[in-house]
Amino acid sequence: MILDRFRLTDRAAIVTGAGRGIGAATAVALAQAGADVLISARSDDQLRKVAREIEDAGRRAVVVPADLTDLTAAAGLAASAMDAFGRIDVVVNNVGGTMPRAFLDTTDEFLAKAFHFNVGTAHALTRAAVPHMTEGSVVNISSVMGRITGRGFLAYGTTKAALAHYTRLAALDLAPRVRVNAIAVGSVATFALEIVTSDEGLRTTMENNTPLRRIGDPEDIAATVLYLASPAGAFVTGRVLEVDGGTDQPTLDLGLPDL
């Protein structure tokens, strides 16, 4: 049965930024497909809620509250997964993000921190996990802003583009044993977008500027992660899948003026 290729029975996964949004939806999806899941984020309360959903799917959940801007903590998730599960099959580097800023407000320090959070964290965990993966899949969560342009997104877009190319380079380095792919995510209804989704006017504008005329749902991304992580995606590596509703331009203008 073709659906069997989407199963992850008795596999072990790590998902960062798993307290809510895309990370939480992904962790639950992997559990529903049969995987035990280590989840990490800052908030213990949020992680506990996700852990209950994993356990409701009949799988084991390991909760590791951590500030993943600390690269030692990020890398340490691999050892925690090995202690708990004795194996690592899937790594989902979801944690990341950078607030929009005008060009002249984007300091050197701000840009460096964006690289650290969006690329450094993914590398730290992946590098720590790979020696424990006899085979497996790494999925990085990038963004549509890594390939399109919009005012205010210099730091965010640049670092997400870097993560996308990191994916291609790491895939070649780690082939054929470990596959590495990414998802270029469009506008998705997560906490980061709450200021938009809670405003009917802004939400309508964003929907109208998306060819599919809707904002994405975290499960749209979780389903794509499952494809890439499972045997269904076994012949895919070094690719950045665009899951963005058809977006080719920013769906919301931040209104930043000319210099």
Other Cβ atoms closer than 10 A to 9: 9
Which of 236, 137, 220 has its CA nearest to residue 185? 220
**Catalytic member of 156, 183, 242, 250:** 156
Angle of CA points 187, 192, 197, to nearest 5°: 65
Helix, strand, or coil (residue 233):
helix
Q: Tell me if 185 sits within 8 A of 157, measured CB to CB.
A: no
Helix, strand, or coil (residue 187):
coil
Residue 147: how many CA atoms within 13 Å on its side-chain side? 18
Query: In angstroms, rounded to a whole number, what is the distance separating the alpha carbons of residues 100 and 105?
Result: 10
Whether 166 is catalytic is no
Query: In angstroms, rounded to a whole number, what is the distance separating the alpha carbons of residues 120 and 223?
Result: 25
Active-site residue numbers?
A: 156
